[in-house]
Amino acid sequence: MAKKIVNLLILLPLGVILIVFCVANRQSVTLAFNPFKPEDQVLAVSAPFFVFLFIALIAGMLIGSAATWFSQGKHRKRARTEAKEAIRWQGEADRHRSRAEEIAGQLPSR
């Protein structure tokens, strides 16, 4: 319930701001990829300004996510090796427990 309230308090105003931002930046702009001849239409893209801003935002999020993913790789590797080691130790403990129960079952009762 608290998560829904927090999502509403954050996502609803963010959505309203994005809609207002899109409506305010509808004018078409041209992005030229040729710095030496900007009027060249072969290497130019025309779109509303908010499209370019959203593309830049999404690209930044993807690059940041990839950088975080690669920088945390050593921690994920360590977690995998420790999980495998824990499974190995659990198996060994189970073998010792079953062996102890087997030995206890062979002892004469008093």
Could you state, in order of their start, the residue ranges of all structural domains in the chain?
A: 77-109
Torsion of CA 73, 76, 82, 83, to 10 degrees: -150
Cα–Cα distance measured from residue 32 to residue 58, given in angstroms and rounded to the nearest whole number: 20
- Tell me: the pLDDT tens digits for 46-100? 999 888 888 998 999 999 999 999 999 999 999 999 999 999 999 999 999 999 9
pLDDT of residue 80: 96
The pTM of this model reads 0.61
- Tell me: the pLDDT tens digits for 19-50? 888 888 888 888 888 888 878 888 889 999 88
Tokens standing for residue 109: 């009762």
> Above 80 in pLDDT, residue 109?
no
